[in-house]
Structure 1
Amino acid sequence: MTDDDRRTRSGEIGPTERLAMNRTGSFDWDLDTGTIDVDEAGLLVFGLEPGEFDGRPTSLLRRLDPPERARLDAVVRAAITSGETSYTAQFRIDGDDGTPQWTHVQARILRTPDRRAHRIVGVVRDTTAEVTHSAFVLDLEKRREVQTSIVERTTQALSRAVTVDDVTAAMTGPGGLARLGADGLALGLVENGSLNIIALSGESLDALNDFRARRLDRGLPLAETVLSGRPRFASAFRTLGRDFPELAPYIDRLKFTSACYLPLVAQARSLGGMALFYRRHSAFNADERNLLLGLAAIVAQSLQRAILFDEERELATGLQETMLPRRIPVISGGEIAVRYHAAWSGRQVGGDWYDVISLPRGRVGIVVGDVQGHDTHAAAIMGQLRIALRAYAGEGHAPSTVLARASRFLAELDTNRFATCTYAQVDLGTGTVRAVRAGHLGPLIRHTDGRVGQPKLRGGLPLGLATVFGDEEFPETRLDLVPGETLVLCTDGLVEQPGSDIQVGLDALSEAVSGGPPEAEALADHLSEQLWERWGAGDDVALLVLRRSPDPGTPRAPRIHQYIHQADPQGLSDARAAVGQALRDWNMTDLADDAELLTGELLVNVLLHTEGGAVLTLEVLPEPVRRVRLSVQDRSSAWPRRRTPGEAATSGRGLMLLDALASRWGVEPRGEGKAVWCEIGPVQTGAAAGAGAVAGSPGPGQGPGPGAGLDPGE
């Protein structure tokens, strides 16, 4: 009697029995004889009865599929030939009923002193339960990873949503349904006893457009969910037609197999409902239901924040609209466009403003400013300051006086706030602009040839601070707008980019103004799109664009106007080139060279001997005699005088050129300054010449009279 038999009779379980009970057996494979000895437990693992095994390895493996058998043979052969002392392998054996069984082999290779393998001993074990459990765990982990990913991606997308539109865009935009793990979405909000569907996304869901707005009742599953506050999970989507007859006609058009309807509740307030649709069949197990309820909570919280933001923004927008002018007056001789853009963040209310004020004698006042701060207090101060500044301007005060009084007004409000602004009085008839600024950005001027200048406006302290520090000086700067030129005023929100120097923004603004359309409205839209959205809209923006109406003349008598700034030497060369090109375009090439030369002489005289820029006008005089007229206007009241230059003199020959090249020339008073003009072309004679002469203007070969010349003050 063996020890195992004795233990069995005594009720004890030996090692062999313990291994067999765990479906673990052993084998001894004699490589020299090609036979293998397998115990009963091992044969059971291979699916064999002891009486049907003949001791051959091929008989042991007859239940293995050929691919599995080949893979096992390759493992054993590689271990033997490589000189290893052990190997492991796992393979599948299908039972008689086709049920797969996973088997694990762990063996040791016994070798002779010369390293020749002659015997393999090992154990074989049924690992089906372990593999099945491992596959279950892997599947569970995979499903949990998917669920975690859905929650994380949805939370991340909604965390950036500020408005209700942002929430719907995050859920219905690119990747929205994939984030939710669904094939279709319907989102509804409760408003005044109605359920309004604000978002539908997914193929075939346009069939529900008939239900976008309707009274909140139990006729539809989403409304029923909102009223009851309980979710509804429909594993068989088509069965919903029985419970909701109104939905039944649409069931066949909706290509889904399952759906869930979730209430959206935040802080005990029912906001609406969300429906998710699936093309694959879903039984909605406990984990899936918990996931969907969690998603509904995330969406509800995002919607609650967005609804509150939209309500505050609507209130703030109404306040802002009452602070800004309701309409812009119609002006004669030009066009004005204004824009106000609130920052994306915050309550969409701030201290930026613009205004257009009708003034006596056909002038117009324009102002753009910014009160310190970005809140309702700043908006309230802005409203008061705007009205005060409008009143001071309407009384006819000079620009410097208007800002001085506005600064005093702001200081007396005792708000501890200051404001910056640029104010200008514009006479569109003459193009004269008188501008002042208080700690604010200066204007830009777009010239008729597309170039953009940044005039240097002398400035004072910000309003309010100027009074506190006792310095209410706001020096005026005179600018000139020739017909077709554009003045651009804005607040710093249009040019400031976080982390960059403001000059970078000013250069970008200049480039955008230069490359934009000429019309005021179109240019204002262009700047809004190019810059306000480019900088991220982190600050409010007030923008005002004023364009003086162009004066192209007529096809038979065209004209051009151009302003040349005193500090812009390149402008002189550009003006000469513009004159020559214009005459060539007008088929008057024979006069181009003389006109370019005289343009240079007239402009150099102004730029050297006066304190401002010059306005150049070139026009073709009406027939019968086709001539051109050059006129250069400046701000100096000193008239030119004739000089007799010596041989070595470097100036004083301007009149000699005029006499030699011009058929007529003269000087005319123009407001605060004068205009020196000349005509080039055939000389008029007889009555035509007399009728065309200007009082005080010399005829051919004549100067403007004694004491007149082109070098004032010399």
Structure 2
Amino acid sequence: MAERGTSPEVDWPAQPDMSLALNHMGTFDWDLDSGRMYLDSTALGVLDLRPDEFSGTPAGLRRRMAPPEEARLDARVAQALKDGRSHYGAYVRIRRRDGSRAWAHIQGHILRNQAGRPYRIIGILRDAAHDPGDPGAGGERAEGRRRMTGVVERTTAILAHARTVNDVTDVLKDPEALSHLGAVSVMLGIVDGGRIHLVAEGRLGTYVPQIEYTRIEAQFPMSEAVRNLQPVFIGSRDDFRVRYPDLWQYIEPLTVHSGVYLPLIAQGRAIGALGLLYERDGDFTDEERNVLVALGSGIAQSLQRAILFEQEHDLAEGLQRAMLPRRIPDVPGTRIAVRYRAARAGQKIGGDWYDVVTLGDSRVGLMIGDVQGHDTDAAVIMGQLRIVLRAYAAEGHTPGTAMARASAFLRDLATDRLAACTYAEMDLGTGMLQLVRAGHHDPVVRRGDGSCHPVPMAGGAPLGLPPNTLPSAGTGGTGYPVTSLELHPGDTLVLCTDGLLEQPGTKDREEGMRALMDAVCAGPVDVEELADTLCDLVGDQGGRDDMALLLLRRRGTPTPRGGGPLRLRLAPGDPEGPATARHLIRAAVAAWGAKELTDEIELAADELMTNALVHTDGGGHVSLRMTAEGRIRVEVEDSSSALPHRREAGDWAVSGRGLLLVERLAREWGVEPRGGGKCVWCEFTVTELPPAP
């Protein structure tokens, strides 16, 4: 939306078509804040100016006005602005190129913001050379012309704010607007292919489905106006009956005696037609015809802007729908709900997104984010960023590394856009979450007992910032620290974008976060119902920003006895590291009720740890966890991208049997890339799961 006191760029400048020019009436549009002034070709002709002679500001009028005339006009405008009036008019004497002098009439409509501050003037400039007597003193004909321009100006000014086709029809159906025109009914038709679609009818009569669509070649006055690009004036009921027998059956029961059908022409083609019906008999005077033709011109321009706006919005909205995931995968042991709501204000598209990606090893990735801006570019960048982050996660990168690479990708696009994002990776067997955030607010967790709290996270900078702006302490060099959180059975993770926090009635994000937690705590347990509840909250209050929402509830699946996973750092050159790791591995396996496997798991883990320490320079990490399928999984990560391979060791060789031993002990083993390194893993089947706690 435009800032207070400024003119929205979407309707600058207001440009009526040639119909006004045929009536020797030009238009001007004056932005008081920027000082810009637009004159159409007819207005330039009235002033005898070429386009290259006009500077685009009020000062450009001095070329054709003597200083006294200029001062008198300035005083008239200043007084109208000071008095708070919405209209002003003035006759001014201009100097033509050949030295002759002529009268011109200026009529302006002043637009003000909600505080009453004037920010724009839209008006008409016409040649007054043929006004009788002294044009400055007026006269009956001059007064009629002033009334004519006043009707056009008021309607054009109101329509200048219309953004959609519905906005245009609401203005036309307004009873006050109809009374000003003396009409009892108005109809608006839009050209749709080879037909005219009747989209609005005001006051008189009832809806007639038989004429909602009419062919352009049909014998109807609206069709005739579109075909010939000329207005159709009907002066009597007999005129209706004789000229349009197919329409007469619908007109006969009404009190209508005359009518006019105006083609709505934009860029040389008919985009629709306007019909006005009257209860009086008689031909239309030249004055009335001029008013109606000028009115049709202004409506045509507003309608064209509205159609283009809706087409652009529909295109962007469809693009955003295509960029969001078409379906969310079923994730074992969880219930997931997602929602997206566009901002109500302005109806522009945005860059909010969500995604859920299933990863190997019983893991799932959850993403939510917001690209800066509310336009088609934001939606396109959002789609690219979502796919890139999804790909990095699927490749096995850690959450911090995936986020850092996504930031580099956005930076390389050179769009000058930033993005906020939260990425969470969850182990489905243990409920352990590894979360990173980039310029995003903290997530919210609702525990199984109904309590709610935010998850405090040491977040990184928004995606797209240069590397030297990213803090690196405690982040593994990625700039994005990882926060660990255990999601117990019955707990719900709430991820959302700013649209759910920045609601009317909330002063800041902190208050918005408290309101969100209150709504989550009081909401239903089922995530689909909870998502609807939160969306209803946004709908009732009228969101200022787009909103994306992702909810994940962990079902009441028994957690393996002993708690969460084990993860240890293997420092290079530390002789005690492997021994400590073996001791902790034995304790964890026993705590999980798989004591019979402790020797096999310890031996296999020791072989994998030894390979990592011997064949790489950077140490590694060892982790142990119970998967959702009831297997114990050992993972050893290192920084080398070289893949391990089995070798046949000789009878007296002291090495070369490690992977053969792992293959013999484990149910299965494998290797997968992890960022710039790799992860070697093996799994063991637990013969009997421990009972639920």
1:231, 1:260 within 8 Å by CA — same for their partners in 2?
Answer: yes
Code of the aligned partner of 2:516: L
Match of 2:187 in 1: 186
| CA offsets 1:119-171 (integer angstroms, 9 cap, x no match) | xxxxxxxxxxxxxxxxxx99999999997786566445433321223323443
| CA offsets 1:91-134 (integer angstroms, 9 cap, x no match) | xxxxxxxxxxxxxxxxxxxxxxxxxxxxxxxxxxxxxxxxxxxx
Shift of 1:416: 4.2
Counterpart selection for 2:509 from 502, 508, 518: 502
Structure 2: distance between partners of 1:157 and 1:473: 52
Structure 1 residues 179, 534: closer, same or farther in 2, change over 3 A? farther
The 3-state SS of whatever aligns with 1:328 is coil
* 1:531 to 2:538 alignment: yes
Structure 1: distance between partners of 2:176 and 2:520: 38
Structure 1 residues 332, 213: closer, same or farther in 2, change over 3 A? farther
1:493, 1:532 within 8 Å by CA — same for their partners in 2?
Answer: no
1:184, 1:201 within 8 Å by CA — same for their partners in 2?
Answer: yes
Code of the aligned partner of 1:318: G
Counterpart selection for 2:527 from 501, 505, 520: 520
Match of 1:249 in 2: 249
Structure 1: distance between partners of 2:276 and 2:262: 8
Code of the aligned partner of 2:198: I
Match of 1:228 in 2: 228
Structure 1 residues 534, 239: closer, same or farther in 2, change over 3 A? same
The 3-state SS of whatever aligns with 1:315 is helix
Counterpart selection for 1:547 from 540, 544, 553: 553
Shift of 1:304: 0.7
Match of 1:401 in 2: 401
Shift of 1:264: 0.8
Match of 2:367 in 1: 367
The 3-state SS of whatever aligns with 1:247 is helix
Shift of 1:437: 0.6
1:494, 1:532 within 8 Å by CA — same for their partners in 2?
Answer: no
Shift of 1:176: 6.8
Structure 2: distance between partners of 1:370 and 1:452: 24
- Aligned ranges 1:47-58 → 2 under 5 Å: none
Match of 2:379 in 1: 379
The 3-state SS of whatever aligns with 2:230 is coil
- Aligned ranges 1:148-159 → 2 under 5 Å: 151=152, 154-159=155-160
The 3-state SS of whatever aligns with 1:246 is helix
Structure 1: distance between partners of 2:467 and 2:309: 38
Structure 2: distance between partners of 1:695 and 1:516: 32
Shift of 1:194: 1.6
* 1:196 to 2:197 alignment: yes
1:157, 1:170 within 8 Å by CA — same for their partners in 2?
Answer: yes
Shift of 1:668: 6.5
Shift of 1:253: 3.5
2:430, 2:564 within 8 Å by CA — same for their partners in 1?
Answer: no
Match of 1:85 in 2: none
Code of the aligned partner of 2:509: I
Structure 2: distance between partners of 1:473 and 1:214: 64
1:195, 1:272 within 8 Å by CA — same for their partners in 2?
Answer: yes
Shift of 1:398: 2.9
The 3-state SS of whatever aligns with 1:465 is coil
Match of 1:12 in 2: none
Match of 1:473 in 2: 479
1:186, 1:276 within 8 Å by CA — same for their partners in 2?
Answer: yes
Shift of 1:438: 1.1
Structure 2: distance between partners of 1:138 and 1:527: 64
Match of 2:331 in 1: 331
Gaps of 5+ in 2: 1-137, 473-477, 567-589, 594-623, 627-689
- Aligned ranges 1:332-347 → 2 under 5 Å: 332-343=332-343
Counterpart selection for 1:493 from 488, 499, 509: 499
Structure 2: distance between partners of 1:149 and 1:668: 87
**Which region of structure 1 is more displaced relative to structure 2, 219-228 or 428-437?**
428-437
Code of the aligned partner of 1:543: L
Structure 2: distance between partners of 1:351 and 1:385: 10
Higher normalized contact order (CA 8 Å, seq sep 6+, divided by chain length): 2
- Aligned ranges 1:260-409 → 2 under 5 Å: 260-279=260-279, 284-343=284-343, 348-409=348-409
The 3-state SS of whatever aligns with 1:352 is strand
Shift of 1:634: 7.1
Gaps of 5+ in 1: 1-136, 552-560, 562-614, 616-630, 638-666, 674-693, 698-714
Structure 2: distance between partners of 1:138 and 1:424: 77
Structure 1: distance between partners of 2:161 and 2:503: 21
Aligned length: 434
Structure 1: distance between partners of 2:249 and 2:507: 60
Code of the aligned partner of 2:483: T
The 3-state SS of whatever aligns with 1:459 is coil
Structure 1 residues 356, 279: closer, same or farther in 2, change over 3 A? farther
| CA offsets 1:73-100 (integer angstroms, 9 cap, x no match) | xxxxxxxxxxxxxxxxxxxxxxxxxxxx
1:342, 1:349 within 8 Å by CA — same for their partners in 2?
Answer: yes
- The TM-score with structure 2 as length reference comes to 0.54
1:263, 1:272 within 8 Å by CA — same for their partners in 2?
Answer: yes
Code of the aligned partner of 1:502: R
Structure 1 residues 695, 358: closer, same or farther in 2, change over 3 A? closer
Structure 2: distance between partners of 1:242 and 1:215: 20
Shift of 1:517: 4.2
1:204, 1:255 within 8 Å by CA — same for their partners in 2?
Answer: no
Structure 2: distance between partners of 1:536 and 1:180: 38
1:349, 1:375 within 8 Å by CA — same for their partners in 2?
Answer: yes
* 1:259 to 2:256 alignment: no
The 3-state SS of whatever aligns with 2:392 is helix
1:235, 1:283 within 8 Å by CA — same for their partners in 2?
Answer: yes
**Which region of structure 1 is more displaced relative to structure 2, 266-275 or 373-382?**
373-382
Structure 2: distance between partners of 1:458 and 1:409: 22
2:430, 2:565 within 8 Å by CA — same for their partners in 1?
Answer: no
Structure 1: distance between partners of 2:341 and 2:355: 15
Match of 2:172 in 1: 171
Shift of 1:486: 3.0
Match of 1:161 in 2: 162
Shift of 1:367: 0.6
The 3-state SS of whatever aligns with 2:541 is coil
The 3-state SS of whatever aligns with 1:409 is helix
Shift of 1:341: 3.5
Structure 2: distance between partners of 1:542 and 1:154: 39
CA RMSD of aligned residues (A): 4.1
Code of the aligned partner of 1:509: L
1:309, 1:347 within 8 Å by CA — same for their partners in 2?
Answer: no
Code of the aligned partner of 1:503: E
Structure 1 residues 179, 458: closer, same or farther in 2, change over 3 A? farther
1:235, 1:258 within 8 Å by CA — same for their partners in 2?
Answer: yes
Match of 1:410 in 2: 410
1:183, 1:202 within 8 Å by CA — same for their partners in 2?
Answer: yes
Structure 1 residues 284, 421: closer, same or farther in 2, change over 3 A? same
Code of the aligned partner of 2:496: C
1:312, 1:347 within 8 Å by CA — same for their partners in 2?
Answer: no
| CA offsets 1:588-632 (integer angstroms, 9 cap, x no match) | xxxxxxxxxxxxxxxxxxxxxxxxxxx9xxxxxxxxxxxxxxx99
Structure 1: distance between partners of 2:199 and 2:360: 52
Match of 2:219 in 1: 219
The 3-state SS of whatever aligns with 1:222 is helix
Match of 2:206 in 1: 205
